[in-house]
Amino acid sequence: MATETIDHSTLSRLVEAGAVRGAHVVGQPGGWAVIVKYGMHERPLASTNSRAIRSFRRLETLVAYLKNIGLSQFDVDAANYDQAAPTAAKRPDRAAALKRAHEAAAYDKWFRAQVQKELDDPSPELTDEEANADMRQFFAKLEREASH
C-alpha cells in the first residue's frame, strides 16, 4: 500500500489556516524528511513532481523551508541519519539548467544596463533625421554598386 503524503501547496494552506499541530523532522540515510501532523493525520511531505517522500540533503535547507512556510517549531529525530550513506543520483541536468539560467540573468542585467546607459545619454550622436539621411545614402551606394 502506498504511503499517503501531503504536498507543498496543501501544507502551506494548512499552516496558513493554523491547522498544523506540529512537524517531525526525521533523519534518514543521506538526508532528512518531514512528517506533518494535522488533525488526526500524520503525513510525510511529498516531492511536487514525483509524489515520492521529499528528502532534503541538508538540515539547514529543510529548516529554511519550514520557516518560510510558517513552521518555526518542530522536533528532530536524527537516530537514522547517516551523512555518509549514498543518496539518490545528483541531477547534473538541473545543475546545467541552473547555470544557464544564471548566465541568462547576468546577460539580461548587463543588456538592460547598456540600454539604460544609452537612453540616459543626453547627447545622442545623431538625430533621427541625420540617421535616416545616412541610411538613404548607404542604400543608394549599395544600389549603385549592385548595378555595376
pLDDT, tens digit, for every residue of 117-148?
Answer: 988 888 767 888 989 999 999 999 999 999 87
pLDDT higher than 70, residue 90: no
Highest mean pLDDT among 49-53, 84-88, 122-126, 138-142: 138-142
Average pLDDT for 20-48: 92
> For residue 100, how far is the Cα from the chain centroid?
12
pLDDT score, position 1: 42
pLDDT higher than 70, residue 59: yes
Tell me the C-alpha distance between 47 and 33, whole Å.
10
H or E element that contains 131: helix 128-147
Cell of 7: 504536498
pLDDT score, position 124: 67
pLDDT higher than 70, residue 89: no
pLDDT score, position 67: 94
Tell me the C-alpha distance between 5 and 71, whole Å.
18
Angle at 109 between CA 107 and CA 115, to 5 degrees: 100
Q: Where are the domains of the chain?
A: 8-77, 92-147
